[in-house]
C-alpha cells in the first residue's frame, strides 16, 4: 500500500535514486489550467517496484514486429487519405548526445480534420476511411527514425471556454523492455493555438516548450509529394525532451 499524503504534504517525486524533478522546467502534476489533472495527479507517495525477469525480458520488441507499411500512415488502406502529406523524421539521443539505436517508436494522431479514430471522439468532423492514425518503426543504427503521415488538424476538447488543441502527434518510445516507455507530443512551428493550450503553457521553461516543436525541413521534402519536419528526441540531460510524467494526456487521446 502507498503511504497516504496529509493535506500539508505535497506529492513528492518518486523515491528513485538520482532522480531530481526540475520544477523550473517541468510542469506541476496538478495544473489548474488543465482540469483533468485535478483527478489524475498522484495523491499518495510513489513506491519503487523492483523489475523481475518478466518485466525486463519480454515481450520482445524486435524487427519482426514491424510491418512493411507501419511507418507510412498514408499507404495503410486501399485509398489515399485526405490532407497534406508530411514526412516526420529525426534522431533519438541520450543525454550525452549518443544515438539510441533499435528503439521502438509508435505514433498516434488525429486526421486532417482533427478527429481520432476512437469511440470517445465524436465531435462533428468526418472520419477518414483511409486513415487510421497509428504507426510504428525502429530507430536505425544511428538512432534515426522516419514516418510518412498526414498533418493533423486542431480539435476542440472542452477543457475551458472555446478550447482547442494545437496540431500535434503523440510519440511513444520503448527501451530494452516493455516497461521502459516514454510518451511525449510533437507540435508544429508557428501554431496560433499555443497561447490557450494548458498542456503547452503548463511547462514553465520556454526553452523546454520549444524543444517540443518540430523544425520545418525544406531540404527533406519530396517534390510533388510531401513536406518534411525534423524533430529530435533527447532522453535525458539539460536538453531533454519533456515526457509524459510532465505532460498529462487529454481524455480523447488515451
CB–CB of 214/72 below 8 Å?
A: no
DSSP state of 55: H
Catalytic choice (151, 168, 209, 211):
168
Catalytic choice (85, 93, 165, 211):
165
- The answer to whether residue 116 is catalytic is yes
Catalytic choice (26, 115, 136, 170):
170
- The answer to whether residue 151 is catalytic is no
- The answer to whether residue 102 is catalytic is no
- The answer to whether residue 93 is catalytic is no
- The answer to whether residue 65 is catalytic is no
CB–CB of 20/236 below 8 Å?
A: no
Please, what is the Cα angle at 154 between 149 and 157, to 5 degrees? 125
Give strand ranges (E) for 33-165. 85-93, 104-108, 134-138, 144-150, 155-156, 164-165
Q: Which residues contact 77 (CB under 8 A, 6 or more apart)?
A: 129, 130, 131, 132
Q: Which residues contact 194 (CB under 8 A, 6 or more apart)?
A: 166, 187, 200, 201
Catalytic choice (116, 145, 187, 229):
116
Provide the grid cell at 215.
523544425
CA nearest neighbour of 64 among 132, 134, 136, 141: 136
Q: How far apart are CA 169 and CA 251, in angstroms?
A: 15
CA nearest neighbour of 169 among 113, 225, 106, 217: 106
Catalytic choice (145, 155, 187, 229):
155
Give the residue numbers annotated as catalytic, written as ranges: 116, 155, 165, 168, 170
Amino acid at each position: 500500500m502507498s503511504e497516504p499524503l496529509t493535506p500539508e504534504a505535497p506529492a513528492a517525486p518518486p523515491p528513485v535514486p538520482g532522480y531530481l524533478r526540475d520544477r523550473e522546467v517541468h510542469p506541476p502534476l496538478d495544473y489548474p489550467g488543465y482540469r483533468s489533472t485535478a483527478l489524475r495527479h498522484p495523491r499518495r507517495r510513489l513506491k519503487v517496484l523492483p523489475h523481475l525477469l518478466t518485466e525486463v525480458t519480454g515481450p520482445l520488441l524486435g524487427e519482426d514486429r514491424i510491418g512493411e507499411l507501419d511507418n507510412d500512415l498514408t499507404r495503410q488502406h486501399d485509398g489515399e487519405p485526405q490532407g497534406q502529406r508530411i514526412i516526420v523524421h529525426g534522431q533519438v539521443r541520450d543525454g550525452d548526445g549518443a544515438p539510441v539505436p533499435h528503439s521502438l517508436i509508435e505514433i498516434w494522431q488525429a486526421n486532417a480534420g482533427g478527429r481520432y479514430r476512437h469511440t470517445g471522439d465524436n465531435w462533428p468532423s468526418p472520419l477518414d476511411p483511409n486513415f487510421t492514425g497509428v504507426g510504428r518503426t525502429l530507430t536505425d543504427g544511428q538512432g534515426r527514425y522516419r514516418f510518412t503521415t498526414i498533418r493533423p488538424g486542431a480539435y476542440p476538447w472542452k477543457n475551458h471556454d472555446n478550447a482547442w488543441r494545437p496540431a500535434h502527434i503523440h510519440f511513444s518510445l520503448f527501451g530494452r523492455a516493455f516497461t521502459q516507455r516514454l510518451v511525449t507530443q510533437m507540435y508544429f512551428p508557428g501554431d496560433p493555438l499555443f497561447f490557450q493550450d494548458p498542456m503547452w503553457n503548463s511547462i514553465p521553461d520556454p526553452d523546454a516548450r520549444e524543444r517540443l516543436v518540430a523544425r520545418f525541413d525544406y531540404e527533406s521534402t519530396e517534390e510533388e509529394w510531401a513536406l518534411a519536419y525534423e524533430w529530435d528526441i533527447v532522453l535525458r540531460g539539460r536538453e531533454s525532451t519533456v515526457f509524459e510524467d510532465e505532460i498529462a494526456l487529454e481524455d480523447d487521446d488515451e
